[in-house]
Amino acid sequence: MSDENPDENLDKNTLSNENSDTEEKIIVDEVKVATKANSNSKIHGPSIVYGGTITAVIVLIFSFGGEFTQPVEKEIIEEPIIKEDRNEQLTLDTFFANASPALGNPNAPLVLIEFGDYQCHFCNVYFQDTEHKIIKNYVDTGKVKILFKDFTIIGPDSVSASHIAHCAGEQGKFWEYHNILYNNWNGENNGWASKQNLLKFANEIDLDMEKLIECDNENRYRTTIDSSNNDARVLGLTGTPAFYVISDNDIQRLFGAQKYETFEEVFESMLKN
């Protein structure tokens, strides 16, 4: 698989938060975040909102003539972090640069971009409960292609995991390594994503270990990871996972480990427009 450029039909002009032609529609919901006790998993502090109730942005629609006309109330689970002031302009490169190789049809009408952290509890919830259904029903059918972007907010092991995933991409196995990471997820900052374990996972999918270790030792993708983290901050993201669905004339954002039906609703609405 290879990295994909955004569709040529998308407007290349800078998208500014002050652009008067852009409507922003924000749906706010009061939600409760419940934590599950798990003796084998440690949830990092930023993953949980104590006190039970938070105000969460569910869907933010940047509308370029199109409109998501029937938003519904959605459960959300999000990892808040300190929000930073941002003065940088928003461009299409903010979405498409510093990303993984694309998974799916290069000419798919929709692009799903995930900002995630391999140690993130709720990223793993999304992977286990939702991503496989999206791949089966939308990626394998040529309707959606997926890009993954790093937002490594939990700890050093998050960066290590992301870096080796990019190195695996040099051997055409980014997504295979991406999958094995989440299939071995076991908490946050507890050592499951140590360098030793990361190399063991790589060996399990028959990567050329000499080339992989050379790539990792040279930190070839550290700038890519840092730049992706900055893209997330430019977008104003406050946690993981966060998703953008992009078509020729519309961009929609979803927060948290949303159910499959939420993605399905957004996909179907955008495919009709």
Mean pLDDT for the chain overall: 77
Q: Model-level pTM greater than 0.75?
A: no
Helix (H, G, I), strand (E, B) or coil at 74: coil
Cα–Cα distance for residue pair 267/69, rounded to 1 Å? 13
Residues found in the chain: 273
CA distance 270 to 273: 5
SS3 59: strand
Please write the tens of the pLDDT for every residue from 68-113.
Answer: 333 333 344 445 443 444 556 789 999 999 999 999 999 999 999 9
